[in-house]
Structure 1
Amino acid sequence: MDDYEPLAGFWASHGFVVIQPTHLDSLGLTPDDPRTPHIWRIRTDDLTRVLDQLDAVKAAVPGLAGRVDRDRITAAGHSWGAQTASTLVGARVVDADGTPGESMADPRVKAAVLLCIPGTRGDDLSPMAAQYFPFMSPDFAELKTPSLIVAGDHDDSPLTVRGADWFTDGYRLSPGATDLLTLFGAEHGLGGIQGRHDTRTTDESPERVAVVQQATLAYLRTPGLDDDAWSTVRDSLTMTSNPLGRFDSK
């Protein structure tokens, strides 16, 4: 719950209510724990429970009463968190026999922001990922809710043998992910979205973080709050002489 201040704080400063759960596996869950094979489902259940208890969450924060718009709920996540968020908008986890598991989509979630979301399984996974993260096996065919995918073109992950384009599978394979932002030179931390001076960031760049901030904020505001926000930020990024990334839409 203490990570991603550059995004969570930025969104909150622009009027969004940001709720950050602490998942079980972030508290030191070991590989041999009997809950580990089911951790993907536990994480999705965490998010669903937040939505189920949204009134209690609101009541715990002074000043929120009457200010939360339940019709604009967005699921957002980075990396493994992006896969978790994607299950609320229709992505499913492929079972050991190769068939997509049950849908855990939640109609209360109207959009998703998926940063560095893991790609497909099978031969695309590295031996390490296949051994320790067999549940990192999404099926995107039913991800139909409007979603923004953000990826770095230098994100060479130990989870896959394919390279950085693995993190664009969610855009290529789902009908709902209609927009993709690819950051040039960005690695898995997208310049430092987890936090300033975070040791997990190997490509620290305030400029890249600013692009992610502005692009995701514009996506959250479009449509409804500012119908021109998305097109404006897209044009401002691509029309510069030295762009930090590119947008693709379908």
Structure 2
Amino acid sequence: MSEPTQATAAPGAPAPVLSVSPVVLPAPGRAVDLEVRVSAPATGSELPVILLSHGQGYSNHLSSLNGYAPLANFWAAHGFVVIQPTHLSSATLSLDSDDPEAPLYWRSRAEDMGRVLDRLDVLEAAVPQLAGRLDPGKVAVAGHSMGGHTASLLLGARTVDPLDGAEVDLSEPRIKAGVLLAAPGRGGEALSENAARSYPVFLTTDFSRMTTPALVVAGDKDTSEHLTVSGPEWHTDPYVLSPGPKSLLTLFDAEHGLGGVSGYDVAETTDENPARVAAVQQLTWAYLRSALFPGDTAWQTACDALAAESDPLGQVESK
């Protein structure tokens, strides 16, 4: 296992983290009210915000506000306010599978993030010592797996509603940057028969108008055979098929869990690797820091250090 090096060195000392959940946002018309977790550093002001969208998976709780602690804790300890909704697709809710949007609830997932942004003042007030410390002008979205699909729609990707054939635009102009972690790629012939049949919304994914800056993170061993016949390169589609500015971080020997980003020591991680998780934590932090703060050099510094490693965990390209 590779040891952390300069490219995966922590960006300064971590701050203590305040985490409050569930914070409940009333959501008329939604099957249940929207519950979120808010994590924030104990110190600092004018804090940028990351909306973190969970994946699907077969665990009962990782796909909820209780998952993705390795990412949420790290980002919050290094200067971001991280907001994690429990989407309607979460197994914790056990909703009626006859809902026409089930099981992915792809549209509702993106709409959840708009609800959060509409009520940032409520979230600030709900977390002790957080009031007045957010910067609503510096918002990013991050998502893993199905959460990456949610993030791509918010960043400008399009799809067609399989129920009525209408093109759907869920882009959110308040979001200024994004990170897509093991996100689904293009549709059409790239999908497996199972995915085309079970998740028809994936058939029409179009990245050509995903114009918001983003970092795409993909594992070169992430075959996702239940979803695609295109192999690991499918997860690079959000980079390859979208306009710039975009960056692609390819992680060597990484599978769908990217070393274990969805939780600490979880059974569904097939490529457990703490050094890989550290790289994801710190490189995504550096990307979002520079994307939201013009002139910040954290991303360039991290890329240079990664390229200089004798046994790097991955590689970065940009356009």
Q: Does 1:125 align with 2:191?
A: yes
Q: In the alignment, what sits opposite 1:240?
A: 309
> How far, CA to CA, are the matches of 1:28 and 1:176 in structure 2?
39
CA deviation profile, 1:135-171 (whole Å, cap 9, x unmatched): 1242111110110000000001021011000000000
Q: Is contact 2:89-2:104 (8 Å) kept?
A: no
Structure 1 ranges of 4+ moved more than 2 A: 27-35, 94-97
Q: Is contact 1:75-1:109 (8 Å) kept?
A: yes
> How far, CA to CA, are the matches of 1:89 and 1:80 in structure 2?
14
Q: In the alignment, what sits opposite 2:101?
A: 35
Provide the secondary structure at the position in 2 that maps to 1:170: helix
Q: Is contact 1:31-1:132 (8 Å) kept?
A: no
Q: Does 1:159 align with 2:223?
A: no
CA deviation profile, 1:45-98 (whole Å, cap 9, x unmatched): 11110111111111101111221111110011001001101111111113449x
Count residues with an aligned counterpart.
Answer: 250
How many angstroms does 1:134 deviate by? 1.0
Q: In the alignment, what sits opposite 1:94?
A: 160
1:64-83 equivalences in 2 (<5 Å): 64-83=130-149
The one of 176, 186, 189 aligned to 2:254: 186
Q: Which has the higher strand share?
A: 2
Q: Is contact 2:89-2:103 (8 Å) kept?
A: no
Gap change, CA 1:79 and 1:71, over 3 Å in 2: same
Letter in 1 for 2:306: L
What TM-score comes out, normalization by structure 2 length?
Answer: 0.74
Letter in 1 for 2:310: S
How many angstroms does 1:14 deviate by? 0.7
Letter in 2 for 1:21: P
Q: Which has the higher helix share?
A: 1
Q: In the alignment, what sits opposite 2:177?
A: 111
Structure 1 residue runs without a partner (length 5+): none
Provide the secondary structure at the position in 2 that maps to 1:234: helix
**Range 79-88 or range 132-141, more displaced:** 132-141
Q: In the alignment, what sits opposite 2:239?
A: 171
Identity of aligned residues (%): 55
1:16-31 equivalences in 2 (<5 Å): 16-26=80-90, 27-29=93-95, 31=97
1:224-235 equivalences in 2 (<5 Å): 224=293, 227-235=296-304
How many angstroms does 1:175 deviate by? 0.9
> How far, CA to CA, are the matches of 2:250 and 2:290 in structure 1?
19
Letter in 1 for 2:318: S
> How far, CA to CA, are the matches of 2:255 and 2:133 in structure 1?
36
Q: In the alignment, what sits opposite 2:210?
A: 143
How many angstroms does 1:186 deviate by? 0.1
Q: Does 1:210 align with 2:278?
A: yes
Q: Does 1:221 align with 2:289?
A: yes
Aligned-pair Cα RMSD in Å:
1.9
Letter in 2 for 1:144: T
Question: Structure with the greater relative contact order (CA < 8 A, sep ≥ 6): 1 or 2?
Answer: 2
